[in-house]
Amino acid sequence: MNYLELTLILAGSSFIAGLLGALTGLGGGVVIVPLLTLGLGIDLRYAVGASLVAVIATSSGAAAAYVKEGYTNIRIGMFLTIATTIGALVGAYLAGILSTKIIAIIFGVVLIYSAYLSNKSKEEHSDDEEPDPIAVRLRLNCTYPTLSGEKHYNVDNVVAGFGLMGLAGILSGLLGIGSGAVKVLAMDHAMKLPFKVSTTTSNFMIGVTAAASAGVYLMRGYIDPGIAMPVMLGILAGSLVGARLLMVFHPRVLRIVFGVVILVLGMEMIYNGITGRL
């Protein structure tokens, strides 16, 4: 395989990863890292470095469209990013203590359980419930566009959502990849946000967290422009297309896509953790 063929394969595969990342809120990174390491044999550290750069591009591309359309809840995103950042620092510390086999298996179990939760029936939003006092004080309750006009939603269980975001940050620090699955589940089930708001806000948050990690990888020399550039461009293009498709897809379809993707990734993580390939 020559350099041009590798570049085209990287760009094409990254486009698909970006498309899935934008539609599900995974951010593309959790898809592209296994693809680069297991499919193309690229060193894990360089794969993670390229993924972090691509995740920033994904978040910038998709989040810009989502904010413009009125889906992203910026207040929730900025508030929960505090928890993910603290969690990422804890995860980075634990990464030097725990075995990579154990980390991979734990993450795989979390993804599979997330796949189960994502397809449990849940009302898209409930305005009849008493709003969380913390959400009211922080002005987190908001609206999002639907075919029938603007729809209001209340934010619930702010403390539980904040705690789960800390867990998401820990998992990100442990594995070096985004934990959009946990972020979406925290907002979707714990905080009871509409699914489209959860996925769009997750994309917004992933880029902020990845930016700090990418700086560390850059200083250590683990970002190869020959790998990172086609991956970044492919994921960016895929995320922009995914952002457009999100506007027309039914939430139930998105839940099925979300569940299938993270179920496959969870099984893959467990397998590679048991066999010691990660």
Nearest by Cα to 51 from 198, 183, 234: 234
pLDDT band at 132 (very low <50, low <70, confident <90, very high): confident
Q: Which helix (H) or strand (E) holds 146?
A: strand 142-146
Q: pLDDT tens digits for 152-165?
A: 888 888 898 899 88
Q: How many residues does the chain have?
A: 278
Least confident interval from 25-29, 62-66, 103-107, 122-126: 122-126
Q: Where are the chain's structural domains?
A: 3-274
In sequence order, the β-bridge partners of residue 151 are: 144
Q: Which residues contact 57 (CB under 8 A, 6 or more apart)?
A: 232, 233, 235, 236, 239
Alpha-carbon distance values, 161 to 49, 168, 223 (Å) = 28, 10, 33
Q: Averaged over 239-264, what is the pLDDT?
A: 75
Q: pLDDT tens digits for 94-122?
A: 766 777 678 778 778 877 876 776 666 55
C-alpha atoms less than 13 angstroms from C-alpha of 220 in its C-beta half-sphere: 11
> Residue 153 — φ and ψ, nearest 5°?
-140, 150
Contact 203, 23 (CB under 8 A): no
Q: Which two tokens stand for residue 64?
A: 């810009």
Contact 118, 188 (CB under 8 A): yes
Q: What share of the chain is helix, strand, coil (3-state, %, to 5)?
A: 75, 5, 25
Whether pLDDT at 193 is above 80: yes
pLDDT band at 205 (very low <50, low <70, confident <90, very high): confident
**Which of the residue ranges 113-122, 125-134, 211-220 has the most confident prediction, judged by mean pLDDT?**
211-220
Averaged confidence pLDDT in the chain? 77
Give the pLDDT confidence score for residue 127 in this predicted structure: 54
